[in-house]
């Protein structure tokens, strides 16, 4: 099936919950994808950071193949031989005692919310039904009914009520507002170390050190949603490391599945994650053998430090190149490592138009919030490929 036909068929038979660029991908390799007509593109979205290791990383594909030939699913009714290795490895990577594997990012966020509430009632001593969780404006934590209950994005939220209570929203990066929102009923503060969907917003220096202090002082769990920012994306294993603090709970997803299977998890110490008892939470597919086999390899890749190093070094090159476009069709650039939010001058074109023009020139990126485009290439991208992508961006801004 060629591109127009494949687009027509997709349009006819699917719910319109996405507005994809008109590219029909049939193959991926490293930082590159090929469409059904044989055109090649640099993938600078990388599955919203689910493809940090690139398409079909050989070690991850080998682990998946080997596991496919052994056993793929057991459910958690039994234990399988990949489970402990994955959980031990991931817990060590996070510096935490325990891990609870799930599948999608939203499920892991839901898990963190449930654990925080139960911890609040059973450990902190909050009165029944009174637990509060503080979140930030412009957050993105997923699409479930509870999560959209505390979204500030009308598209994510409108028409999906009634909403789950128990959440307070404060401006991102505003320590005073956060301090004022904490009460004896606050069980957790849930934040993205860098807000991805909001446009790759980096908080003011010292904000997270302040969050950590407030949480410790108020006996409140600090939950870092590192689903998009974590696992090498910003030049460190976790984006929160740039702030010199550690959260009480990590929420992970996306790249944890190596771009092969959905794998998410929360990681925390025993006094937090240990509150869950059999029957209180679970998932048929969470922590399945195929997921764990891939996850074990993901952890091993991260243990080498190579991807974090590449992201830090190449990130400097990317941000230096993007900074040169400011005033030349670009209004502002934000981000860390191989992750950038680029605000296109709205007088020139929308973010969507910029994405379409870049796709015509063989570079795939995605817009957010009108005039911002996000660049998040796989961490296996080369310096030359980065330069090429930025040159294409520069070209569309000069001759739209």
Catalytic residues: 140, 225, 254
Q: Which is nearer to ligand PLP, 232 or 329 (CB)?
A: 232
- Of the candidates 310, 297, 307, 223, the residue with the CA atom closest to the CA atom of residue 256: 297
Sketch the per residue contact string, 10 through 49, with ligand PLP: x for CB under 6 A, - otherwise. --------------------------------------x-
Residue 339 binds ligand PLP, judged by CB under 6 A: no
- Of the candidates 292, 275, 260, 279, the residue with the CA atom closest to the CA atom of residue 79: 292
Q: Which is nearer to ligand PLP, 231 or 358 (CB)?
A: 231
User: How many CB atoms neighbour CB 68 within 10 A?
Assistant: 12
Minimal distance, residue 172 CB to ligand PLP, in Å? 12
Residue 140 binds ligand PLP, judged by CB under 6 A: yes
Minimal distance, residue 112 CB to ligand PLP, in Å? 10
Q: Which is nearer to ligand PLP, 104 or 111 (CB)?
A: 104
- Tokens 């994808």 map to which residue? 33
Please count the residues of the chain.
400
The residues near 145 (Cβ < 8 Å, ≥ 6 apart) are: 160, 163, 164
Q: Which of 64, 223, 227, 272 binds ligand PLP (CB under 6 A)?
A: 227
Residue 196 binds ligand PLP, judged by CB under 6 A: yes
Q: Which of 52, 67, 82, 104 binds ligand PLP (CB under 6 A)?
A: 104
- Of the candidates 343, 341, 320, 323, the residue with the CA atom closest to the CA atom of residue 331: 343
Query: How far apart, in whole angstroms, are the C-alpha atoms of residue 120 and residue 210?
Result: 21
- Of the candidates 390, 377, 391, the residue with the CA atom closest to the CA atom of residue 33: 377
Q: Which of residues 145-174 bind ligand PLP (CB under 6 A)?
A: none
Handedness of CA 310, 379, 236, 83 (dihedral sign): negative
Residue 351 binds ligand PLP, judged by CB under 6 A: no
Residue 259 binds ligand PLP, judged by CB under 6 A: no
Query: How far apart, in whole angstroms, are the C-alpha atoms of residue 343 and residue 207?
Result: 23
Q: Measured at CB, which residue is nearest to ligand PLP? A: 105
Q: Which is nearer to ligand PLP, 100 or 390 (CB)?
A: 100
Q: Which two tokens stand for residue 397?
A: 């801004």
Residues in contact with ligand PLP by the rule CB under 6 A: 48, 104-106, 109, 140-142, 192, 196-197, 225, 227-228, 253
């Amino acid at each position: 099936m060629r591109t127009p036909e494949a687009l027509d068929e997709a349009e006819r038979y699917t719910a319109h919950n996405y507005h994809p660029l008109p590219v029909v991908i049939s193959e991926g390799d490293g930082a590159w994808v090929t469409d059904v007509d044989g055109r090649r593109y640099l993938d600078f979205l990388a599955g919203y950071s689910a493809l940090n290791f690139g398409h079909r990383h050989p070690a991850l594909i080998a682990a998946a193949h080997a596991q496919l030939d052994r056993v793929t699913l057991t459910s958690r009714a039994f234990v399988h031989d990949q489970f402990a290795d994955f959980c031990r490895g991931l817990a060590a990577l996070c510096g935490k005692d325990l891990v609870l594997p799930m599948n999608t990012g939203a499920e892991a966020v839901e898990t963190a919310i449930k654990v925080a509430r139960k911890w609040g009632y059973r450990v902190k001593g909050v009165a029944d039904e009174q637990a509060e969780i503080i979140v930030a404006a412009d957050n993105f934590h997923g699409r479930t009914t509870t999560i959209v209950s505390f979204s500030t994005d009308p598209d994510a939220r409108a028409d999906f009520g009634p909403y789950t209570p128990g959440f307070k929203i404060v401006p991102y990066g505003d320590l005073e507002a956060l301090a004022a929102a904490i009460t004896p009923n606050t069980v957790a503060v849930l934040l993205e170390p860098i807000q991805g969907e909001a446009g790759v917003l980096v908080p003011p220096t010292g904000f997270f050190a302040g969050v950590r202090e407030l949480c410790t002082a108020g006996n409140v769990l600090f939950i870092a949603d590192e689903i998009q920012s974590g696992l090498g994306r910003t030049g460190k294993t976790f984006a929160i490391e740039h702030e010199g603090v550690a959260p009480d709970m990590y929420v992970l997803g996306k790249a944890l599945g190596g771009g092969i299977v959905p794998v998410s998890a929360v990681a925390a110490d025993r006094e937090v994650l240990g509150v869950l008892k059999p029957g209180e939470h679970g998932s048929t597919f969470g922590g399945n053998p195929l997921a764990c086999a891939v996850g074990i390899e993901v952890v091993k890749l991260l243990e080498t430090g190579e991807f974090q190093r590449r992201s830090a070094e190449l990130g400097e090159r990317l941000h230096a190149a993007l900074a040169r476009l400011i005033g030349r069709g670009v209004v502002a650039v934000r981000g860390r490592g191989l992750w950038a939010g680029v605000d296109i001058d709205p007088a020139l074109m929308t973010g969507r138009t910029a994405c379409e023009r870049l796709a015509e020139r063989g570079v795939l990126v995605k817009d957010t919030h009108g005039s911002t485009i996000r660049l998040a290439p796989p961490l296996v991208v080369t310096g030359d490929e980065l330069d090429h992508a930025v040159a294409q961006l520069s070209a569309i801004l000069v001759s739209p």
